[in-house]
Structure 1
Amino acid sequence: MSLRANRVGEQMKKELGEIISRKIKDPRIGFVTVTDVRVSGDLQIAKVYISVLGDAEKRENTLKGLAKAKGFIRSEIGQRIRLRKTPEILFEFDESVDYGNRIETLIHEINQENKQED
């Protein structure tokens, strides 16, 4: 990934967090954290990685709400970041957050078992 794509991704991450939390009023969208934005080298596509607080249904509803608001989000990004063409936005769940939480839970369980044995 080019340095420019990295910079655009970082800028988008900052702006997306603000747009999603402040501008979008869709009740389906839960508490969303933008964890990463990866922009293709040609700046055409931006993969936005999100984590959502809640169960699988809440996550799916949030994804539907974001998909519905994609046009609005893209135009907001276009106004805030000076680019000739605003990248196409694709939302994906950041599985690494769930993975990290799972590992943390397992470590906690192992520590509890070790304390009971002592």
Structure 2
Amino acid sequence: MGTESKRQQRFAGVIQQDLAELFQREGNSWAPGAFITVTRVRVTPDLAIARVYLSFLNTKTAKDDLAHIQSKTTEIRYKLGTRIKNQARIVPQLEFFLDDTNEYVEHMDKLFEEISKEPRQPD
């Protein structure tokens, strides 16, 4: 995907902010006990599809929680539509993805820790 236009970035920002508020208020019913963060939103050039990246904290079942949220996409899209109806002509289709950046960072930290604990070999 190429660089996003200002219009795409602005629209993605609006969606990200409104979805973040929506997940903060109602996310517990979709993923009990999990803290859901909308880390990034990418919008297609025609603004018809929004790819939403979610990060889950305080849960061991992030993939299951994501699957449950994906099953509630139409409900979430409707609620988003009621929020952005004055800012957008159409409410984009939502596609949810797991943002595993935090897991990757933790994994890399563990690797670096192990490397630093290994005894150095003489030159």
Q: Is TM (by shorter chain) over 0.5?
A: yes
The yes-or-no answer on 1:44 pairing with 2:48 is yes
Look up the equivalent residue of 2:36 and give its one-letter code: V
Name the % identity.
32
- Distance in 2 separating the partners of 1:111 and 1:15: 43
Per the alignment, in what secondary structure is the counterpart of residue 95 of structure 2? strand
Deviation at 1:100, TM superposition (A): 1.8
Deviation at 1:92, TM superposition (A): 0.5
String of CA shifts for 1:2-54, please: whole Å, max 9, x gaps: 11111111121111111012124425442211110001111011010111133
Where does residue 103 of structure 1 map in the other structure? 108
Alignment: residue pair count: 113
Structure 1 range deviating more: 35-44 or 61-70: 61-70
Where does residue 39 of structure 2 map in the other structure? 35
- Distance in 1 separating the partners of 2:38 and 2:23: 9
- Distance in 1 separating the partners of 2:92 and 2:30: 26
- Distance in 1 separating the partners of 2:73 and 2:20: 14
Where does residue 10 of structure 1 map in the other structure? 13
CA RMSD, 1 decimal: 2.1
Gaps of 5+ in 1: none
Look up the equivalent residue of 2:14 and give its one-letter code: Q
Gaps of 5+ in 2: none
Counting only pairs closer than 5 Å after superposition, residues 7-86 of structure 1 correspond to structure 2 as 7-26=10-29, 28-29=31-32, 30-53=34-57, 54-55=59-60, 58-81=61-84, 82-86=87-91
Contact 1:49 1:91 in 2 (8 A): yes
Per the alignment, in what secondary structure is the counterpart of residue 88 of structure 2? coil
Q: Which has the larger radius of gyration?
A: 2
Where does residue 87 of structure 1 map in the other structure? 92
Per the alignment, in what secondary structure is the counterpart of residue 34 of structure 1? strand
Structure 1 range deviating more: 84-93 or 20-29: 20-29
